[in-house]
């Protein structure tokens, strides 16, 4: 400060405390580092999509899934480009950028070479920015295995259904749950007539009262199966027949 003679009379020292600012900057930097670590090591393919549907960030797993580098992807590709055309229309309502809660769905993901990967997607909104985080789990191998199992099950079901041997399935209480073509021919009952009824209803009255049935039942309870046992049954027309059963 100066006196009336323009001479320095006092000196004031002003110090600005920037501690809180530095702490905030440090916390922000640590938070960004932590976010980047979580983003890169999520264990799934992750992409951040802006309100235009454009991918602005992609992690290493997304690179591997898509076949593109993040430099090729970020701020260049819309997320929808990786969704198979047949899935785009029905996914759009679930992909509403205004949604406030996480959603999940499955779809065919198209990579760089046009190959389909079956993925499970979790979409989480980032309300402050309007962005969305897409986390994708590749279920292709599991999906193929399920399809193979289903195909084999259908194949076996067709064999059993059309086999000329009489094949039926019983529940734990002895009620008929399935009935094939061979059983229809042997007993004269259509599946819709017999399914849900007791297997014992097919046996003759004399055989039901016999000790032989008790012996077979005890053997089954002990071993869990029986092979080549003879049962006396009656067809739908009342004709007595003797059958060789393995269970």
Q: Which residues contact 226 (CB under 8 A, 6 or more apart)?
A: 216, 219, 220, 245, 246, 247
Instruction: Decide if 203 contacts 232 (C-beta within 8 A).
Output: yes
What's the mean pLDDT in 63-78? 94
Residue 193 and residue 68: Cα distance in Å, rounded? 60
Q: Considering Cα of 30, then 32, then 35, then 40, what sign does the dihedral take?
A: negative
Q: What digits encode the pLDDT tens for the residues 11-40?
A: 555 555 656 655 555 554 544 554 565 667
pTM more than 0.85: no
Q: What digits encode the pLDDT tens for the residues 76-116?
A: 999 999 999 999 887 776 666 677 788 888 999 999 999 99
How far is CA 54 from its chain centroid?
27
Q: What digits encode the pLDDT tens for the residues 143-190?
A: 788 778 888 878 777 777 777 788 888 888 889 988 888 899 899 999
| Spatial strand order in the sheet of 131-138 | 55-58, 45-49, 131-138, 116-126, 103-110
* Residues found in the chain: 247
What's the mean pLDDT in 42-68? 91
């Amino acid at each position: 400060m100066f006196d009336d003679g323009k001479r320095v009379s006092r000196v004031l020292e002003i110090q600005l405390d920037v501690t809180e600012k530095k702490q905030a900057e440090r916390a922000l930097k640590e938070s960004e580092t932590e976010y980047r670590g979580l983003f890169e090591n999520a264990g799934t393919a992750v992409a951040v999509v802006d309100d235009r549907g454009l991918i602005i960030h992609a992690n290493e797993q997304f690179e591997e899934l898509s076949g593109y580098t993040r430099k090729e992807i970020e701020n260049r590709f819309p997320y929808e480009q990786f969704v198979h055309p047949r899935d785009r229309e029905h996914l759009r309502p679930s992909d509403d950028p205004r949604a406030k809660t996480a959603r999940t769905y499955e779809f065919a993901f198209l990579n760089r070479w046009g190959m389909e990967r079956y993925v499970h997607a979790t979409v989480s909104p980032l309300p402050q920015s309007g962005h969305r985080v897409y986390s994708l789990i590749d279920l292709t191998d599991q999906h193929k295995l399920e399809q193979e199992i289903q195909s084999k099950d259908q194949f076996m079901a067709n064999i059993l259904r059309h086999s000329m041997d009489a094949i039926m399935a019983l529940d734990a209480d002895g009620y008929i749950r399935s009935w094939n073509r061979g059983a229809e021919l042997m007993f004269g009952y259509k599946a819709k007539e017999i399914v849900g009824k007791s297997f014992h209803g097919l046996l003759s009255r004399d055989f039901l009262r016999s000790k032989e049935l008790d012996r077979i039942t005890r053997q089954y309870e002990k071993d869990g199966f029986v092979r080549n046992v003879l049962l006396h049954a009656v067809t739908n027309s009342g004709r007595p027949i003797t059958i060789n059963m393995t269970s």
